[in-house]
Amino acid sequence: MLLSGCYGKETGMSRVGVVGLRGPLSADAAGFAAELVRFGYSKTGRRQQMELFASLSAWLDDADLGLDGLDGAAVEAFLDARRAAREKLWSVRSLTPLAGFLSATGRSWPPPERPAGPGQAVIDDYERYLKSERGLAEGTIAGYVRVARDFLDDCSRVTGPGLEAVTAAAVVGFVTRSCSHLGLSASRGTISALRCLLRYLAVEGLVAADVGSSFLSVAGGGQPLPRGIGSGQIEALLASCDRRRGIGRRDYAILMLLARLGLRGGELVGLCLEDVDWRGGEITVRGKGSRIDRLPLPVDVGEAVAAYLRRGRPPCGSRAVFVRHQAPFVGFAGTGALRGILARACTRAGVAYACPHRLRHTAATGMLRQGASLAEIGQVLRHGQARATAIYAAVDDERLRVLAPAWPVVTR
């Protein structure tokens, strides 16, 4: 195999030609090259990745390191040398394909080093508690851990390291600073995560039991009314997708699932090929709290998904229904991709940006206005409690009209 290495003694990383490979990665060259083809990398992308692969293998060989010695410090030293030589692909992200390949073949890859803050041991125990005792979803755990780390770091900056810094004044100060630039929903989420941490610390006997009562809830009344978007705007969003192209078919199918079935963003991202029952006309949705539901698949939604799968989805080994349109062809990493898809559709359609959850509200209010009961809407939206669906009663103008008293008419 003819590859280009990137190692030289004069500059540290000057480009030299090599025949074959040297170093601890040499036996994996063919497998890695096949992996790049499988994930849909272009010819140029494969060449660049293989050059990076050869460069790292040669660098490890000259440093007398094997894969066992490839820790976070070694990776950073290798990338520093590439930066100094003004080479391309010098960030940790550039090594993502190689990291995935090595992990898939049972070799370890050094994870990004987490900064060891003053409460890192507490954070690690708290994260295990959220997983084992609370059984929260991964996204929720990540958010709660982020708030916990920010809070403990904030306490250490104000009063020094140690949990003795967790006082009522520190809690109030953190809430004031962190929520000053957040909206109502984000502020409530931050406070909910902070209360969970303080309860955990109190149960473990690490802080005073009454610290969590030192701040009030976020003002703003009860649960806000759901806000959908008009049917004309939905049609404009759908019409903005160029279904002559694969990416347009993908975006159209995604918008149809959001607007017609009211899927949550995480539910759509986690949708797998085996979740679609074409013969039965049903779709399996894995929702919040490990809940699994089966929903009927409307004909127009099914046709949109089928058109994408047959004439738009790149060939790849991913089991996700919706995958990236550029290599690597894998499922979306999170709901941020959906927000980007919807933002671009809103720009093309000339309408104000609407987040994916507003399309869920649109589906619910549309069913309500077509005569569906709240119980039926709750089944489609997969609500765990009836009160979660009851908020939609407040947006049904026609049904509320009969309950409103007539305006008194004064006659003279």
Residue with tokens 């399309």: 359
Q: What is the mean pLDDT of residues 95-105?
A: 84
Q: What is the mean pLDDT of residues 377-397?
A: 74
Dump pLDDT digits (tens) for 112-128: 555 555 567 888 899 99
What pLDDT, on the 0 to 100 scale, is given for residue 397? 55
Beta bridge partner(s), residue 276? 283
Beta bridge partner(s), residue 331? 323
Q: What is the mean pLDDT of residues 400-411?
A: 57
| More confident: 243 or 161 | 243
| Three-state SS at 323 | strand
* CA dist., res. 11 & res. 119, Å (int): 42
Domains of the chain: 2-104 (no CATH), 120-214 (1.10.150), 231-398 (1.10.443.10)
Residue 283 — very low, low, confident or very high, per pLDDT cuts 50/70/90? very high
Least confident segment among 17-31, 94-108, 130-144, 253-267: 17-31
Residue 17 — very low, low, confident or very high, per pLDDT cuts 50/70/90? very low
Answer whether residue 221 shows pLDDT above 80.
no
What pLDDT, on the 0 to 100 scale, is given for residue 236? 93
So which residues are the catalytic ones?
Answer: 264, 288, 357, 360, 383, 392
Q: What is the mean pLDDT of residues 1-27?
A: 51
| pTM confidence score | 0.66
Burial (CB count within 10 angstroms: exposed 0-12, middle 13-18, buried 19+), residue 336: exposed
- Cβ-based neighbour number of residue 191 at 10 Å: 19
Which residues in 50-79 are b (16+ Cβ under 10 Å) and which e? Answer: bbbbbbbbbbbbeeebeeeebeeebbeebb
- Cβ-based neighbour number of residue 122 at 10 Å: 20
Answer whether residue 11 shows pLDDT above 50.
no
Residue 4 — very low, low, confident or very high, per pLDDT cuts 50/70/90? very low
Answer whether residue 34 shows pLDDT above 70.
yes
What pLDDT, on the 0 to 100 scale, is given for residue 244? 92
What pLDDT, on the 0 to 100 scale, is given for residue 312? 93
What pLDDT, on the 0 to 100 scale, is given for residue 1? 36
